[in-house]
Amino acid sequence: MRLKTIKLNIVFIIIAINLQAQQTKESLVGKIFSAKVGYICEETPEPNPCAGQQIFLVLQFNKEEVTITEKNRSSCDKETVAYQFKYAWSLDDEVVVINSNPEEVRYTYLEKLKLNLKNGKLKGAITYPNGQDKEYDFKENIK
């Protein structure tokens, strides 16, 4: 009788762990997250208040794919899209795995992007060519 109770408890623990992992992935599905990852300031011959741009990465998750967009917002609030990719994704423990095409993402912020989901918060880190790591908090976009 005691062995049966122990086996039953182990089964419940395994089910609870699997449900928790599924809830974590589900916490991203249908949501959009963004983070400011850089900025550009162009030198112009004449003063131009719109010469500066902030660079944002926007991640939109559905069950199978994530759409990744780099948006540039000028200091005059004009937005442009630098690139947009769609890739399959999964969650391995706390690591968000994006199955990107290395040739396609070369020289973009995605090339060295690492994403983690910790305590319901999406965190990113980019390793720059100089070896420096920079961390980013991706905020959920609420419509």
Mean pLDDT value across residues 7-12: 53
Rounded to whole angstroms, what are the CA distances from 54 to 21, 80, 108, 141?
Answer: 35, 11, 15, 17
pLDDT digits (tens, 9 = 90+) for 24-38: 788 899 999 999 998
All residues at 6 or more sequence positions from 15 whose CB lies less than 8 Å from its CB, including other chains: none
Range(s) of the domain holding residue 96: 2-140
Residue 78's φ and ψ, nearest 5 degrees, are -90, 130
Position of tokens 């690591």? 95
Reported pTM? 0.78
DSSP assigned state of 31:
-
Q: How many residues does the chain have?
A: 143
All residues at 6 or more sequence positions from 121 whose CB lies less than 8 Å from its CB, including other chains: 137, 138
State the Cα–Cα distance between residues 77 and 116, nearest whole angstrom.
30
Query: Bridge-partner residues for 125, per DSSP?
Result: 114, 135
Domain with residue 131: its CATH number is 2.40.128
Query: Using 50, 70 and 90 to split pLDDT, how confident is the model at 17?
Result: low
How many domains is the chain built from? 1
Neighbours of 136 (CB within 10 A): 19
Give the 3-state secondary structure of residue 16: helix
pLDDT digits (tens, 9 = 90+) for 49-80: 888 899 999 999 999 999 999 999 998 889 99
DSSP assigned state of 63:
S
